[in-house]
Amino acid sequence: MSSLPSIRFLLPVVTILFGISFSDLALTFPAATASGQEPEAGKQPQVQPQPQQAPKQQQAQKKAQTSPPSHPIVAGYERFRTADARKSTQSPQWKNGALLLSELNCQSCHGTIDGLPLPARQAPDLTKVGERVSADYLVRFLADPQKIKPGTLMPAIHLPNDTQEADRFVRALVSFLTEDSNFRPGAVGSDAIQRGERLFHSVGCAVCHGDQRISEADRPAFSVPLGDPAEKYSIGSLTGFLLNPHDVRPSGRMPSLNLTDEEAHDVASYLIREVDVEPNISYAYFEGDWQSLPDFTTLTPVTTGGTTDFSAKVGARENQFAVRFSGYLQIEEPGEYEFSLSSDDGSRLLVDGNEVLNLDGIHPADWTQKKVSLSRGPHPLVVEYFENSGEESLRLLIAGPGMNRQSAAAWMTITEAKAEPKPGQFVADRSLVEEGRRLFDSLGCAACHSRGRGDNRIQWTGKAPSFAQMDPNKGCLSETPNTIESPDATGNVTAATVLSDSKVPRFSFSQRQRSDLRLLIQSVTQSKSETPAQSGAEGIPELTGEQRIEFTMTALNCYACHERNKRGGIVTKTDKLFTGAIPEMGDEGRLPPHLNGVGDKLNPEWLRTVLNEGARDRPYMFTRMPKFGHAGARALAETFTETDVRKEELSVEMPVAEHRYKADARHMIGDRALGCIKCHTFNEFKVVGVQAVNMTTMTKRLRREWFHRYLMNPMEYRPGTRMPTAWPNGRSVLPKILDGKPDVQIESIWKYLEDGAEAKVPSGLQKQSIELKPTDRTIIYRNFIQGLSPRGIAVGTPEKAHFAWDAEDFAPRLIWHGAFIDAAMHWEGRGPGAQSPLGDHVMELPSGPPIAVLNSLDSPWPTESPRDSGFEFDGYKLDGNGVPAFRYRAHGLQVTDELRPVVTQQDAGLLRTLTTSASTSSGDSTNSDGSTNSGAMYFRIARNREIELRDGEWVLDQSIRCRFTAGQPLVRNSGDFKELLVPVESRIQYQMEW
Amino acid sequence: MRTQNTFGTQYWLAALILFSIAGFSRQNAVAGEKLESVESDYYEIIRYPIPEGIVLEAGAVEILPDQTVAIATRRGQIFIVHNFFGDDPQKVEYRLFADGLHEVLGLTWRDGSLYATQRCEVTRLRDSDQDGLADEIETFNDDWGINGDYHEYAFGSPFDKDGNMYVALCLTGSFGSDSKWRGWSLKIDRDGKMTPFASGLRSPGGIGFDLNGELFYTDNQGPWNGTCSLKWLKPGAFQGHPAGLKWYSLVSDGSLRLPEAAKSGTRMIEEADRNPDYEPPAILFPYQKMGQSASGFACDDSEGRFGPFHGQMFVGDVTHSTVMRCYLEKVGDHYQGACFPFREGLSSGSLALKMASDGSLIVGGTNRGWGSRGTEPFALERLRWKKVVPFEIQAMRAASDGFLLTLTEPVDVDSAKAIDSWSIQTYTYIFQESYGSPEVDHTTPKIREIHVSDDGLQVHLVIDGLKRGHVHELQASGVRSRGGNPLLHSLAYYTLNSIPKE
């Protein structure tokens, strides 16, 4: 018995290590050994490349030549095919074929097949494809999908052998698909590209699609190809797709990552970063130091020209410039449009000569919005922008009828005239639209793709053999599809002839894919004969819950992020794509959880929510749980529950009333007991260091029985977790609470957490102020003080004149009155951050060095850090009242700096005494250039914009008054500032009041 | 439907097994329940009262020549505790000696001064006017950087026989070294002059000496540290975390050679073989089994007044509120050894440990910012031996063919020779730049022969399949003393960096 626990413990660990390397290794095989067919160039119709697209075209051709022969890429199939085939005894042979069948949606032509755990993957909805996808791209893609997008699931349609004829087919189809549509490529900004690159490689896109920053060969072979989004999409249409992928692809294989509008725009900008757009906006660039938008009519621009975006980066400068953008906004559909403007610093938007939005002044990036009704046609649009200093940014977005929120730049033209198509650009040919519509049906497009919603959907009128009837060596599965086959000897209609004119699509299957599909079809036929009771139903054998889970997770590619029962999970090549905001949390803070027993862990409702809506329960993790939101995902949630839930009776008898045990639970969670809140977020309270899952969401997410078991032994469920148990060996570390009974204690915590946002806040979260009050003696507080170096030493006096002396600057840096300081920031929790004075009248004094050798009074005050120029801190001595005298050595001198409170008529002042003597100890250098004798030594007392002598007092910026009782102060100019210097004497003394 | 039924059966079978396991651990629980009380039969915990108003988050402990005890706190105060060693712990008296210091995690006495290691410096404190309060707060050395990150702790050692002390500087967070000498141990000589001493530290929890004056420190689970450990600070050696290597640029006199940076994703022993500068941990504390945050430690120099463990190291763990015991030995040119559970049930997170001359062990506790099983926010306690020898594995030494165990009492030979009395497994951790590591590379060596010495105090386990570089987890649950007692702690974890030749 005793070895059992360790085995249970061992397995997940081994998986973490070896699961990764094995599956990764295995996955390199398919690509290497797959014998996908070379495109048969001779048989394929060629659409003449458009001249202006030649470079791109060549690039694509080059890609196709260097890549291995491409075949449809189904991520789960690519990843597990080899491994699954190896363990064929456990894994039915038909499984790989069934996966392909589901993902290629063979059912759309060949009829239903029973028993698959999730609906087949639907091809993209083409209802509005013309707005989404460039017609030029469609022309090239339809001619040879695998060549334009290697790995695509789209088969090549059967086109006539005659090149011109084929070209006409394609043009007809594209004319039909893009008729009356409004596709406008837009420019993308470099900031958005950068942000998008970060998002793409952190939120999860790259986990399925591969790290785009490394070569294709270095990505896992199961990466889902992206094709060339810059050729295919516009910035607006791709943004829209990323926001709602399920609108176009309802089967959820491309899940939604719940991106915000801005995030979607950024990711889209990154994906189409190579887009090449003609300048369509005029700009004039000006230079100058402005605090608000200048009157552009009075200025002469430094440069003018055309650009493609309303961007802060149009000119040479990063600071002190202004830009005026102008052009015409081309509106196709009249209606209400919302403009969103953001800028750092100021900007404003004018449409039709009227000011629509105004963000003038110096400020960080901020958004403002307004809706405007616009008629069809061109509208003069002007954006004015200026930047003073610091960060700079400018963005103008537009949303309106049939247009999701996107960069307004795409819809601009320089002149009033509507944008003309570029020479050679595809323009829908109305005369071909009807033929295109017919072809959409007759070529079989309509079998997979919907076009038109509901009753308007174009129906496929063709026919294909059912799975039971088909010859698995023919039709799409023939080695040489598209060859016309005769009826066989018996006169039966074969697969190939059913589809009119043998127009079977060509999928470019690899040999292995073909054989897997054949195996499946044979198995379906056999299973039918074995179980006559089910005759009529074509199906795969009945699956266990775990098999259904495995199939669904493979199809949806859940395994890219999650491991379950030693299958899938992160591989070496994807590991770097998982990052988090809190590196201190280690892998727990960056890697999505394993799904072993997830149906036991999460309650059914939450499982459904997570799969339907996505989740952000681990806000520290950059990778997001995406939203699948369809029937297959819902079924998966149910199957998890059915399969995983451990049936057990958990009844806990509570020995005391609810209000008592909840109070005990609150105590247990707090910092005076188990301290759960030292790592876990609790409602709005977040700790510093580790921010583990919010405790008050736990009862909403978890199953109570699991929670009980997990708390007793976290390591059993999450090997390597930092979550400790408070019940080691089944024994509570709190024997006095609720009789020390583990189940009662855990149940109390559960019940308490069920109060969610209403749960009373446990001890240790609401920071109590720890005000340090110097009542009868001076208090020293050495810690991180705001505005000082980390070597700050705050001194609080009973007279309420306080100061903070900096052992990096060797000088007092802050003085203030009233309350001294609140130590709670540093004395609660781990104590991060720098604290500001608690009181009022906070005044800043100059930073160091406090003493310098000047060759003449024209020499600038040195800016080198005092420590780097030989200052050495010696600490301080306290007098009988605890008042410190700071001591340091510099320039061969031993210096003592003492500030002592002095009661005055108003608030107390500070009497500062600086004494110097020749330093006795070695090590304190003279000036680094040995100039001690060539210049004079000064203390710098103040550096302010204004320093005046008034009634014997030096007044600094009208706020601090310094009265000298020893020393000969003098004032000098230093740029925009003045400096109050005192030649070094053995004793200098002055009193500060403020 | 048929398959579903089959599945159901499997399901219940699995559930049955799981319940059996639950039952098994429940049995353990009963044993566990006894453990604390059993430990207390041999080592009592004296808990000192702390008056209202004093927040004694003990960061460092020192015993002064007059047998008062100085406690430095994370709030920057130093208290002198009087009557500490008296008969009645209730009679202790706390007198404030200094305050306003910055999170003191090192305290040591010399020639009338206390030397406190604050975040920013080592400070010499002296009460020149003898009014009980320090009035000279002198900077002894502040030659390291600090940038305001809470993680940049500084731990200070006692003085060595030559009058040097050593500080161990935590990195800026877990991954970086943003201020000068972060991730280093620095030597500070008698005159306060600093010399960089060793690099590659991550997050020390304590620094000090063994009986021979060799310098050790504890480091914590995180990047390049699969689990917590006790490490030997060999002069100039690299302890594994490369973040601090950039400060080699400041070593201008050629006294230190820049070590090769570590290679992620390997094993500690592979790295040690590849990189002669790297010093692998002497003793690993298996994560969660022994503890989760190793902290301060003290060497038993009490000549037996603390029980039969003279010369061994006692190491605190904050999370588990425990004191662990370590047996170190030098094999070849390096240290390695075993750790054993020793005493649980401390009241707060054990942080500062100090062995007193009467052979008792002072433990100062705090759990601010990090949880601990002991639920008090802070505590001052003392472990005292009750003059009854527990039946324990006193020492565990590596042999060329297995392990040599020394027991504190003669064993019952039959139980010691029964192969079922023992079990052993090995594992190690991934040496990597990301945080922590699971246990990996498990093996199960076989015990081939068991020899017991005539006096019953030595057991020689001859083992097939010793695994160099692995923790050897030995469970001796079946072993009995001649009096029929089981071992007080039947688990031992030996970090076998090197297998002795003879």
What global pTM score does this model have?
0.75
- The C-alpha of A425 sits at a distance from chain B's nearest C-alpha, in angstroms, of 51
Residue A601's Cβ-side half-sphere holds a number of Cα atoms within 13 Å equal to 13
Domains in chain B, number: 2
Answer whether B320 sits within 8 Å of A724, measured CB to CB.
Answer: yes
A594 with A616, same domain: the answer is yes
Whether the complex's predicted ipTM surpasses the cut of 0.85: yes
Distance in angstroms (rounded) separating the CA atoms of residues B110 and A41 = 89
Query: B361 and B435: one domain?
Result: no
Nearest to A549 by CA among A467, A626, A611: A611
pLDDT digits (tens, 9 = 90+) for A714-754: 989 988 888 988 998 899 999 999 999 999 999 999 999 99
Cα distance between residue B101 and residue B140, in whole Å: 14
Q: Which of B300, B311, B174 has the alpha carbon at shortest distance from B243?
A: B174
Closest CA to A495 of A109, A39, A101, A116: A109
Q: Are residues A226 and A173 in the same domain?
A: no
Within 8 A by CB and 6+ apart from A91, the residues are: A84, A85
What's the one-letter identity of residue A10? L
Same domain, B305 and B430: no
Phi and psi (nearest 5°) for A163? -60, -45
Min Cα distance A766 → chain B (Å) is 14
* Nearest by Cα to A262 from A402, A407, A372, A387: A407
pLDDT of residue A520: 85
Mark yes or no for CB contact B320/A646 under 8 Å. no
Same domain, B274 and B136: yes
Mean pLDDT of chain B: 92
Type and span of the H or E element at B166: strand B165-169
A328: CATH: 2.60.120.1560
| End-of-domain residue from the set A933, A952, A973 | A933
Q: What pLDDT sits at residue A482?
A: 52
Please report the pLDDT score of residue B35 as a whole number.
Answer: 55
Q: Are residues A149 and A56 in the same domain?
A: yes
Specify the pLDDT at position A419: 76
User: Nearest to residue A749, comparing CAs of A766, A732, A764, A765?
Assistant: A732
Give the Cα separation of A942 and A956 in Å (integer).
Answer: 8
Q: How many CB atoms lie within 10 A of CB B51?
A: 9
- What tokens were used for A137? 């791209």
- A835 is written with which tokens? 């604290």
Residue position matching structure tokens 């006199």: B253
My answer on whether B81 and B196 are in the same domain is yes
pLDDT band at A790, cuts 50/70/90? very high
- Tell me what pLDDT residue B37 has: 55
User: What are the DSSP calls for A436-494, one per residue?
Assistant: HHHHHHHTSHHHH---SSGGGSPPP------TTT--TTSGGGSSSTT------TT-PPP
Helix H, strand E, coil C: the string for A630-653 is CHHHHHHHHHHHHHHCCCCCCCCC
Tell me, yes or no, whether A444 and A480 share the same domain.
yes
For residue A811, the model assigns a pLDDT of 97
Q: How far apart are CA B467 and CA B425, in angstroms?
A: 10
Q: Are residues B337 and B441 in the same domain?
A: no
Across the interface, do A8 and B377 touch by the CB < 8 Å criterion? no
Q: Could you tell me if residue B30 is inside a domain?
A: no
Question: With an 8 Å Cβ cutoff, are B148 and A720 in contact?
Answer: no
Residue B3 included in any domain: no
Tell me if A235 is assigned to some domain.
Answer: yes
Indicate whether A534 pLDDT > 70.
no
- Do B376 and B255 lie in one domain? The reply is yes
Q: Which among A493, A513, A534 is the end of a domain? A: A534
Minimum Cα–Cα distance from A668: chain B residue: B375
Residue B84 lies in a domain: yes
Instruction: Provide the residue type at B297 as one letter.
Output: F
Q: What is the CATH number of the domain that holds B500?
A: 2.60.40.1220
Range 435-474 of B in CB contact (< 8 A) with A: 435-440, 442
Domain boundary at B335, B364, B385, which? Answer: B385
pLDDT band at A923 (very low <50, low <70, confident <90, very high): very low
When pLDDT is cut at 50, 70 and 90, the band that residue A585 belongs to is: confident
- Residue A73 in 3-state DSSP? coil
Q: What is the mean pLDDT of residues A857-884?
A: 95
Residues 6 or more apart whose CB falls under 8 angstroms from that of A927 comprise: A853, A891, A935
B402 vs A831, which has greater pLDDT?
A: B402
Instruction: Work out the pLDDT band at A94, boundaries 50, 70, 90.
Output: confident
> Residue A315: what pLDDT?
83
Place of tokens 């960096």: B497
Q: How many CB atoms are closer than 10 A to CB A250?
A: 18
In a domain, A882, yes or no: yes
Query: With 50 as the cut, is the pLDDT of residue A855 above it?
Result: yes
Cβ neighbours around A648 below 10 Å, total: 13
The continuous run of DSSP H or E covering A369 comes out as strand A366-374
A929 Rama class: left (phi>0) / alpha (psi -120 to 50) / beta: alpha
Identify the domain containing residue B489 by its residue range.
393-502
In the predicted structure, residue A537 carries a pLDDT above the cut 80: no
The residues near A460 (Cβ < 8 Å, ≥ 6 apart) are A108, A109, A441, A444, A446, A447
Nearest CA in chain B to A740: B33
C-beta atoms of B32 and A728 within 8 A: yes
B38 assigned to some structural domain = no
What residues make up the domain containing A579? 545-644
C-alpha dihedral, A935 to A941 to A947 to A949, nearest 10°: -90
Say what the pLDDT of residue A82 is. Answer: 79
Choose from A387-401, A574-588, B269-283 the range with maximum mean pLDDT.
Answer: B269-283
At A698, which helix (H) or strand (E)?
Answer: helix A698-701
Question: B379 and B400 share a domain?
Answer: no
Q: Are residues A321 and A243 in the same domain?
A: no
Looking at residue B9, what is its pLDDT? 42
Asked whether residue B4 is assigned to any structural domain, the reply reads no
Residue B18 lies in a domain: no
pLDDT at position A934? 64
The verdict on a CB contact (< 8 Å) between A728 and B374 is no
Question: Residue A496 falls within a domain, yes or no?
Answer: yes
Residue of chain B with shortest Cα separation from A825 = B150
A579 touches A206 (CB < 8 A): no
Contact A544 B33 (CB under 8 A): no
**Is the same domain home to B300 and B281?**
yes
- Burial of residue A204, with CB atoms counted within 10 A of its CB: 0-12 exposed, 13-18 middle, 19 or more buried: buried
Count other Cβ atoms within 10 Å, centred on residue B492.
Answer: 24
How many domains are contained in chain A? 6
Contact across the interface for A648 and B436, Cβ inside 8 Å: no
β partners of residue A939? A851, A982
For A949, the 3-state DSSP assignment is strand
> Stretch A475-501: mean pLDDT, rounded?
52
> Is B279 a member of any domain?
yes
Residue at which a domain ends, from A534, A566, A596:
A534
- pLDDT at position A105 over 80: yes
pLDDT band at A68 (very low <50, low <70, confident <90, very high): low
Answer yes or no: is A549 within a domain: yes
Chain A residues with beta carbon closer than 8 angstroms to that of B7: 544-546
pLDDT > 60? residue A58: no
- Collapsing DSSP states into helix, strand and coil, what is residue A800? coil
Do residue A561 and residue A662 come from a single domain? no
- Report yes or no on A633 lying in a domain: yes
Task: Name the residue with higher pLDDT: A390 or A224.
Answer: A224
B11 domain-assigned: no
Dist CA A694 CA A711 (whole Å): 15
Q: Is the pLDDT of residue B1 over 80?
A: no
Same domain, A728 and A811: no
Nearest CB neighbour to A673, from listed B3, B175, B375: B375
- A43 pLDDT exceeds 70? no
**CATH number for the domain including A216?**
1.10.760
Cis check: omega of the bond before A345, within 30 degrees of 0: yes
pLDDT tens, residue by residue, B85-130: 999 999 999 999 999 999 999 999 999 999 999 999 999 999 999 9
Asked if residue A554 and residue A633 are part of one domain, the reply reads yes
Residues B345 and B452 in one domain: no
- Interface check for B126 against chain A (CB to CB < 8 A): the answer is no
Residues B352 and B457 in one domain: no
Check whether A424 has a pLDDT greater than 50: yes
From residue A541, how far is each of A95, A114, A548 by CA, in Å? Answer: 10, 9, 11
In a domain? residue A630: yes
Are the C-beta atoms of residues B308 and B301 closer than 8 Å to each other? no
Contacting residues for A907 by C-beta, under 8 A, at least 6 apart: A800, A801, A817, A841, A993, A994
Strand runs (DSSP E) across A750-903, as ranges? Answer: 771-772, 779-783, 792-796, 801-806, 811-817, 821-822, 840-844, 851-854, 872-878, 884-890, 893-902
DSSP structure string for B223-252 = BTBSSEEEEE--TT-B-S-GGGGGGGGG--
A620 with A674, same domain? no
Which domain-ending residue is among B385, B409, B437?
Answer: B385
Please report the pLDDT score of residue A930 as a whole number. Answer: 40
pLDDT at A931 over 50: no
Question: A983 is written with which tokens?
Answer: 């030649």
Residues A529 and A550 in one domain: no
* Residue A929 sits in the same domain as residue A794: yes
Give pLDDT, residue A866.
95
Give yes or no: residues B334 and B415 share one domain.
no
- The answer, yes or no, to whether residue A29 has pLDDT greater than 50, is no
CATH code at position B222: 2.120.10.30
Chain B residues touching residue A713 (CB < 8 angstroms): 25
- Say yes or no: B128 and B235 in one domain: yes
**Which tokens sit at A670?**
């707090």
Q: Concatenated DSSP letters for B248-268? A: GGG--SS-SPPPPPP-TTEEH
Same domain, A781 and A900: yes
Q: Which residues of A touch B12 (CB under 8 A)?
A: 647
- Tell me which residue in A1, A542, A719 faces B20 most closely, judged by beta carbons: A1
Q: Residue B219: which of B208, B235, B230 has the closest Cα?
A: B230
Task: Chain B: give the shortest CA distance to residue A771, in Å.
Answer: 13
Chain B (215-274) residues lying within 8 Å, Cβ to Cβ, of chain A: 221-222
Of A446, A498, A444, A441, nearest in space to A475 by CA? A498
Distance in angstroms (rounded) separating the CA atoms of residues A511 and A106: 17
Residue B13 contacts A, CB cutoff 8 Å:
no
With a cut of 80, say whether residue A427 has pLDDT above it. Answer: yes
- At residue A527 the predicted structure's pLDDT band, cuts being 50, 70 and 90, is low
With CA atoms as reference, the chain A residue closest to B435 would be: A586
Last residue of a domain, one of B348, B369, B385: B385
Highest mean pLDDT among A922-926, B268-272, B369-373: B268-272
